[in-house]
Structure 1
Amino acid sequence: MVDHSLHTAAEPILARQTPELATERSARLAAEQTTQRLQATIAALAGARVPQDVAAVIIQQGLHDLGICLGLVVLLTSDGTAVDVMSSIGFGHVPGWSGHGPLPRLAIDSGFFVVEVVRTGQPVWLGSLTAIATAHPERARLLADWGVGSMVCLPLIIDGRTIGCMGLGYSEPQAFDAPERLFLQALAAQCAQAMDRAQVYHDAQTHAARLQALSEASAVLTRAGLDTPLIIEALCGLAMVHVGDGCAVRLLSGDRRTLTWAVARNRDPEIQAFVEALMCTGEPAEVGLSGGILAGSESVFLPVVSAVHLDFLAHGRLRTMVDRYPFHSLISVPVRSSGQIFGLLTVTRYVADQSYTEADRQFCQELADRAGMALENARLFHAERAAHALTEEALRRTGMLQRLTASLSMAVTSGEIGQVLVHEGSRAFGAHSSLLMLVSADGDALELLSAVGIDTGLSALWGRLPMAQAGAFADVVRSRVPLFADEHAAWLAVAPVLPGTKELPPGPRYVLPLLVGEQALGILGFAFAEGRALAPDERQLLLSIAEQGALALHRAWLFAAEKLARRLAEAPEEKARLAVLVRDDFLSIASHELKTPLTSLDLQQEVLFRAAHRDPALAPYRERLDMGRRQIRRLTRLVHDLLDVSRLSAGPLVLAHEDLDLAAVVGEVAGRFAEDLDRAGSPLTLALSAARGAWDRGRLDQVVTNLLANAVKYGNGQPIAVTLRVADGLVSLAVRDGGIGIDPAQQSRLFQRFERLVSTQHYGGFGLGLWITRQIVEAMGGTIGVVSRLGEGATFTVGLPWASRLRHGADLAP
């Protein structure tokens, strides 16, 4: 028998448990469904590689599983000024959007729901149209038109930072209960993680692509070699391929004051045509943002270009182009290498939602740096080649001068000298004709001495030209200034009355005076083929040839006069007098003859010396060139001594006084002797008091130079001391050495002309330095003396009246 009383008693309990079990089963089922939906979403997100794919998965999930009518996923831009729409669905009319393709970029201050959520990082739950209208009345009408009855906007957060927003709209009101909110928040979290993974993957892919692009860029620039235009073209082409709708490369001018267009490209043919019209223009290098880049070597990075930026970016015709074709984003970086800026690389984009990123700027700078290294290599190569060419040219000219000097030294008569000058000069410079004319004995005409490349008719016409008809030739003689006419029209303008000048072939004409002192002996002229104008250094060399030619002619005349004088001198007294005159004339001629070629040789030797220190190929010759330079300068000092003897023998020497500090003069001379002192092994000690007075600077310099040179020569490597004191209205300059010393018995001859107290086998020189020093000191009203013993060195002391006026025209003759 069944006991129904127990069953009857359990019925109330079962009745109470059934709703609870149903609720539990419903919750469990909802949880399982939520888990399945999340798992399906996670599985779909696993295959998404880029942010756009992640956003599309989320939108499709909402469309199919949540029944949304509107969906939107946005990401914050790298500069934080806007959000980019990754995917969207259900949007109707949007201002500025054609309805095709992605929605336009939204500024961070635009006020849209999703943008506000990105900005604040807080979710927005709006379960009804009323709630929407309360929160955002200005957006409610638009959302209603799109069929939205409720919506939710959730921030996408990674590591505490908001990277974007997920927005979903429903056609019906939604309660957004706790389970639904949990699911949507979990969906947003999965979206954020997937977005972060996709962004990392995208960045890695972009980085790898950029590295590959830079590797290819290096190869392209390497193939461009040392050709600067090819390097610039390659740089612009690479930028256009990888980052630019438009690209321009501008280079700094040689004086670094102007930016000039080297190359410019644009994808739009209309803009390209406008750009090509700007290629001939330049702008000051310090203007606007370009000046900032050049001054600080920093780039300009403008993801979004504003009107304020344009005021700094563009000027003149460039601003006209920018106003007509405004660009949206810009990067401008220096093209540089080893701290030197060669120019600017500028790239632009015109599409509003394609702003440049920091990665783009870094890529452009890397690209520009590679091009900068290529440009530096090209410039170094061309500079080295130019320097080598200059060295070769200097060697050629030195050889030409040596040949000309040798030929002139062997020429005895004026006619022989004239032939050397016109033939050697024409051959050295490539002149098609040249001539040498001398002033006649009466001074009224120019007489043709030698010519080459001029027909016999013109030679006869110019055999003797009266000064009134000699035109430009006579002007050069009178003014003693060379005439350089690079153009034939310039020659005709200055030589209209010169007979036969219009029949000459066109081309540059150069006419040089043959000067000895202030006297013009005649002219040396060269004519060249059209277009062969001489460079400044070639002109200088031409002047050196004319100077040497004039001295050679003067020497020939003196030589002829000396021969005549010897024939006329019959009495012993006359012979002695003529001998002195001949000696003095010889000293004058020899010193002048030697000075000019020595000056040219010194300049050429200095050029070779510097070239040897620049060009590794000439390294083995550096020591020999240095020795040659020292010997040339020693010979120059000896020639100056001969010149002084000539001047002193000719009469009073004019001293030009000026206010100066003798201590400063001594210091300057000591500085010039640093190399000689070091070579001799003699340390120099200076003890100088200020001594300001009225003296001849050049002659005081000569006095100090002679005394110090004497101490170095005979100082036997011992210390040298120079003291300068002022006392009782007298300036005392003493130079003491610890060298070989001087026998007191011989000291009376020390200051005589051509006196040598030591063997010429061991000590060179003419024996003129101390004699000239005494003449100068005595002309200044001073005295010079010596205190010395053999083996104990010598002390030379100069005494000068302090602040005294110099005696103009003092007789310095012996």
Structure 2
Amino acid sequence: MVDAEHLQARIDSLVDRTQRLHRMTAHLSTATSYEDVSRIVVEEGAEALGAQTGALWRVDPAAGLTMLHAKGYPESALSRVAKIPLAPGIPVSDAVLTGEPVWLSSLADYEQRYPDSAARTRSMAAPPAYSTAALPVTYQGNAVGVIALTFEGDRPFDADDQMFLMFLALHCAQGFERARVMTEMRVNAVIAEERATFKVRAGAVLASSLDYEETLRNVAALAVPRIADWCGVELVGPDGKSKQVAVAHVDPAKVEYARELALRYPPDPDAATGVPNVLRTGVSELYPQIREELLAAGAKDAEHLRILRELGLRSAMVVPIKDREKVVGAISFIMSGDHREYTAADLAMAEQLAQRAGAAIANAMLYEQATAAVRMRDEFLLVAGHELRTPLAAMMLHHQVLVALPLDTPISKVHDRGAKLVKQGERLSRLIDELLDVSRITAGKLTLERRELDLEDLVRDVCTRTAETAERAGSTINLDLAHVAGSWDRERLDQVITNLLSNAIKYGKGSPIEVKLSRQGDTAVLAVSDRGIGISPEDQTRVFQRFERAVSPRKFGGLGLGLWIVRQLVVAHGGTITVESALGVGSTFTVTLPLH
């Protein structure tokens, strides 16, 4: 009779537990979070077995065990078991570390195997755990959680108990996996929406202004906090050095701190990672997790490493900004704290943004260049109109005087007036020739007629031809000429030498002009020096540009084309032209020409 009653009780217990497992399975199928799964498993498991307490922890290899749900614990004890280190000597930790259940059938068994843990339990004023079961929750061989139930009195944990608890842990693992997938889907949906929204808004910002630095500052501000906690933009300047043009942070107070940090610890331009490397290689970098070794590699000293640790940097990506194939800058995105980690999808989105930023910069620069070209054209037309009218007006005046001269005017006076008219005509012709040369050079139609040429004779001829002009300006031309011959275009080199001498006369303030010709190996070297007004350092490269001049056009005439044409002609011969000058001291223009 006793056996029959015991058998019936066991059958009833098994039926109840099976029903509970079915009911729990149904509930778990609708659970969408780890917390929901934990609540269902703990409540159903504790009720089915009549446990005094029950709890479930989630495993984090870095942080240990974090409690998700508990039943039966007093409030005073919950805070003591909310976080448990993943270390041997604790039943739930051992279950995770070994991957095997821990069965403690009595209080004596507990105190013998885990004396320190039993003492801590008594100190928490928790109900005495006469018997305890701790089972790892594993999925695909990895422990993702651990469940523990305690019972009042001894409990041998027979085969039925062990089987039920193992099924409980199995259903919990499956529920955790469903929750993980559902959570990941929700997070991915939110991230995808954030990416799409950011891309639309960033596109509008990039198209809103032709001031690209201001635009990039707006993009950085837009990125925070939507896709980053930190966002910085660096651009490469004309000198090849990078400059931070934008920085944004979720805490505005840290923006200035970030700038100060960048000044205190400037990046190493030869660094193997980070912004310098991206600027150098043009290849993006993705760091899903910023680990300690990465911080240590980037830190300049112990204090810098301490600061980097305090910032709590978690994940980062750096993408290049390109204008066609040329790298012109880089954008950095950083997540800190407990926020999500960047993925390959985030990197693809960041690269698309950087590509659009590069296009925006290119468009802004093209607009600046077009605006500058229009402004330069207008200024040039104003100067050209004045320069062309001046000799034309003088020619008309001389012509009118010649026509009005009496028939008995001495022939010498007529010749003098005619010579002045011819001189103005020659000046007008030179101006027109300059304009035609500009047209030929910009159209790529400049041609050279190379022949064997005695450069010494050519230099001497030009100096003789301009000696009278130099004398009227109060200057003398001193020659130091070696015999140098080569293959050049005589007419074009005549133009080069004439222009350099004319400039020396115009800006030399009546000082002596030195012309030196020498040969250095297979190269002819011509230097024209004056002791005049000189050229400031900032203007010394600009004087060789089209329509540029280092002096006021009101004081000195000309179209601002002479030295630009000279440089084009010299370069066409395979040579170079440089200037050495100082204000108030004078200038030396040096031309080098390969002999053949």
Shorter-chain TM range is 0.5 to 0.7
**8 Å CA contact 1:232, 1:263 repeated in 2:** no
Partner in structure 1 of residue 82 of structure 2: 103
In the TM superposition, residue 251 of structure 1 has moved relative to its aligned partner by 1.9
Could you tell me whether the CA contact under 8 Å between 1:329 and 1:355 is conserved in 2?
no
- The structural deviation recorded for 1:131 is 3.6
Q: Is the 8 A contact 1:335 1:345 kept in 2?
A: yes
Partner of 1:264: 248
State the partner residue of 1:322: 307
* Cα displacement (A) at 1:53: 1.1
| Contact 1:74–1:83 under 8 Å retained in 2 | no
Structure 1 157/138 Cα, relative in aligned 2: closer, same or farther at 3 Å?
same
Q: Alignment partner for residue 381 of structure 1, among 363, 367, 383?
A: 363
CA distance in 1, matches of 2:92, 2:186: 28
* Contact 1:149/1:170 (<8 A) preserved: yes
**Change in CA separation of 1:257 and 1:93 when aligned onto 2, cut-off 3 Å:** farther
Residue of structure 1 aligned with 2:103, choices 122, 125, 136: 125
User: 8 Å contact 1:151–1:168 — kept in the other structure?
Assistant: yes
What does residue range 325-336 of structure 1 map to in structure 2 within 5 Å? Answer: 326-336=310-320
Instruction: Output one character per residue of 1:482-510: Cα deviation in whole Å (capped at 9) or x when no partner.
Output: xxxxxxxxxxxxxxxxxxxxxxxxxxxxx
Return the offset for 1:32. 0.8
Deviation at 1:695, TM superposition (A): 7.8
Q: Per the alignment, do residues 98 and 189 of structure 1 end up closer, same or farther by CA in structure 2, a change over 3 Å counting?
A: closer
Q: For the pair shown, which has the larger CA radius of gyration, 1 or 2? A: 1
One-letter amino acid matched to 2:307: V
Write out per-residue CA displacement over residues 217-267 of structure 1, whole angstroms, 9 at most, x where no aligned residue: 1221122124446654554455444465x4232423425533526132234
Query: Is contact 1:305–1:328 with CA below 8 Å preserved after alignment?
Result: no
What SS does structure 2 have at the residue aligned with 1:175?
Answer: coil
Shift of 1:290: 4.6
The match for 2:27 is: 44
Shift, 1:388, TM fit: 1.6
> 1:181 & 1:236 partners in 2: Cα distance?
57
1:349–1:67 CA distance, 2 compared to 1 (3 A): farther
CA distance in 2, matches of 1:695, 1:231: 54
* Match of residue 119, structure 2, among 100, 117, 141: 141
347, 364, 368: which is aligned to 2:334? 347
1:56 alignment counterpart: 39
In structure 1, the partner of 2:555 is: none
Runs of 5+ unmatched residues, structure 2: 399-410, 466-478, 489-518, 526-594
Give the whole-Å Cα distance in 2 for the aligned partners of 1:154 and 1:31.
Answer: 20
Match of 1:528 in 2: none
Quickly say closer, same or farther: Cα 1:387–1:84, change in 2 above 3 A.
farther
State the Cα deviation string for residues 592-623 of structure 1 (Å, max 9, x = none).
997787567645754xx3xxxxxxxxxxxxxx
Check whether the contact 1:261–1:280 (CA below 8 A) recurs between aligned residues.
no
Distance 1:600 1:241, change over 3 A: same
Change (3 A) 1:54 1:240: farther
Gaps in structure 1 of 5+ consecutive residues? 1-17, 417-562, 569-581, 610-624, 667-692, 700-805, 807-814
User: Aligned residues: percent identity?
Assistant: 16
Is the Cα–Cα contact under 8 Å of residues 321 and 355 in structure 2 kept in the other structure? yes
- The answer to whether residue 173 in structure 2 is matched with residue 192 in structure 1 is yes
Between 1:82-91 and 1:590-599, the stretch displaced more is 590-599
Cα contact 1:274–1:321 (8 A) shared by 2 = no
CA shift for structure 1 position 199: 1.0
1:68 corresponds in structure 2 to 51
Q: Deviations over 1:94-115 (max 9, x none)?
A: 9xx9939x935x6656875444
1:491-548 Cα offsets, whole Å, 9 max, x none, are xxxxxxxxxxxxxxxxxxxxxxxxxxxxxxxxxxxxxxxxxxxxxxxxxxxxxxxxxx
TM-score, normalisation: structure 1: 0.46
2:232 corresponds in structure 1 to 249
User: Contact 1:258–1:285 (CA<8 Å) still a contact in 2?
Assistant: no
Q: How far did residue 191 of structure 1 move? A: 0.7
- Number of equivalent positions: 452
Asked if 1:27 corresponds to 2:14, the answer is no
Structure 2 partner of 1:181: 162
CA 1:248–1:640: 2 relative to 1, 3 Å: farther
Asked whether the 8 Å contact 1:250–1:263 carries over to 2, the reply is yes
Look up the equivalent residue of 2:171 and give its one-letter code. Answer: Q
CA offsets 1:105-135 (integer angstroms, 9 cap, x no match): x665687544444444333223334444444
In 1: Cα distance, 2:254 partner to 2:78 partner: 24
Distance of 1:113 and 1:295 partners within structure 2: 54
Change (3 A) 1:253 1:91: farther
Kindly provide the amino acid, as one letter, of the partner of residue 354 in structure 2. Answer: G
CA displacement 1:48-105 (0-9 Å, x = unmatched): 111221112112223433343444433445xx544563613266799xx9939x935x
SS in 2 for 1:68: coil
Contact 1:38–1:187 (CA under 8 A) maintained in structure 2: yes
For residues 123 and 74 of structure 1, do their structure 2 counterparts lie closer, same or farther at Cα, with a shift above 3 Å needed?
same
Question: Does residue 647 of the first structure (1) align with residue 447 of the second (2)?
Answer: no
> Per the alignment, in what secondary structure is the counterpart of residue 99 of structure 1?
helix
Q: Deviations over 1:261-294 (max 9, x none)?
A: 6132234x76567557669878336367554555
Residues 648-670 of structure 1 deviation map (CA, whole Å, 9 limit, x = unaligned): 99699944459xxx9xx89xxxx
Letter in 1 for 2:138: I
Letter in 2 for 1:203: E
| Cα distance in structure 2, aligned partners of 1:281 and 1:242 | 28
SS in 2 for 1:87: strand
Q: Which whole-Å CA distance do the structure 1 matches of 2:55 and 2:290 have between them?
A: 24
Q: Which amino acid aligns with 2:173?
A: A
Contact in 1 for aligned 2:54/2:149 (Cα 8 Å): yes
**1:155 Cα deviation (Å)?**
2.4
TM-score, structure 2 as length reference: 0.60
